Amino acid sequence: TERKQFVMYSNKQLQKKYIQDYHWDVIHGSLAVGTRGDEMVKFVGAKIRPVYEAILLEAGKEEEVSKHQWEFNVLVRDFPDAYAIPGGKVMFYSALIPVCKNEDGIAFVMSHELGHVLANHYCEGETNQQLGEVAAFALLTVATQGDLDYYTTDFISASMVYTVRAAFNHKKEMEADRIGVILMAKAGYDPASAVEYLDRYDSLMNYMYLIEPNRKDSIRRAELINTYIPEAHKYYNEYVQ
């Protein structure tokens, strides 16, 4: 990304940690193997994978690419969500598949989640958490003159970390959106479908889960994605010609 980042970890260092969580989902959850959603996720993943790896290779990250062990799965879950982690693991929750509606929707979600990995957001998040904990402990030590109990330290530290994460969350989402529409376009999917997906997602969260999206944020996000689409369409047009 163009934004300067301070990170103390690499995707390679974090890969083991997050893959353990992914494997827990695979082992203890129920995979929707053979379903239409599972087939679409795997098909889209096969198209996005070479584009994603080409970006890494262009950045000189041959070793990272060589360590990838790709998996594209759908986990049976009632809540619509998806994630991608360093190492080539992508997981969709089954409730998200109808919201995606088609391959274009799946491509945007997958590209957005992989965008977080490409932009080192996991590395940045871990760094921010560590720095937040250190800052919280230092502040508490000064404020209480060293007279700390466990619960006070734990509570304030958690509050500090949450504040640090929240400050970066919006920027990360916008960065992942921009990377996402470019990634999906390079794989042959229409980037304009990203805004249509966001509208369906907001409607579902409001109707099914009674979670009222922040309309101002939703509109702003759609507006920003629309500013990314002309750049992404150049890659899409190259693919379809």
Instruction: Assess whether 39 carries a catalytic annotation.
Output: no
Q: Closest Cα to residue 5, out of 120, 112, 131, 162?
A: 120
Higher per-residue confidence, 64 vs 157: 64
pLDDT band at residue 2, thresholds of 50, 70 and 90? low
> Helix (H, G, I), strand (E, B), or coil: what is residue 146?
coil
Q: What is the pLDDT of residue 205?
A: 77
Structure tokens at 112: 């957005």
Q: What is the pLDDT of residue 124?
A: 64
d(CA 213, CA 205): 7
Catalytic residue among 53, 113, 124, 173: 113
Span 15-51, pLDDT tens digits? 666 777 888 888 989 999 999 999 999 999 999 999 9
DSSP letter at 34?
T
Span 180-205, pLDDT tens digits? 999 999 999 999 999 999 999 988 87
pLDDT band at residue 213, thresholds of 50, 70 and 90? low
Q: What is the pLDDT of residue 158?
A: 43
- Strands (E) across 76-224 are located at 82-85, 89-93
**In degrees rounded to 5, what are phi and psi of residue 125?**
-65, -45
d(CA 94, CA 98): 8
Cβ atoms < 10 Å from Cβ of 136: 21
Q: Please report, as a single letter, which amino acid is at residue 221.
A: R
pTM score, whole prediction: 0.78
Higher per-residue confidence, 4 vs 224: 224
Higher per-residue confidence, 167 vs 55: 55
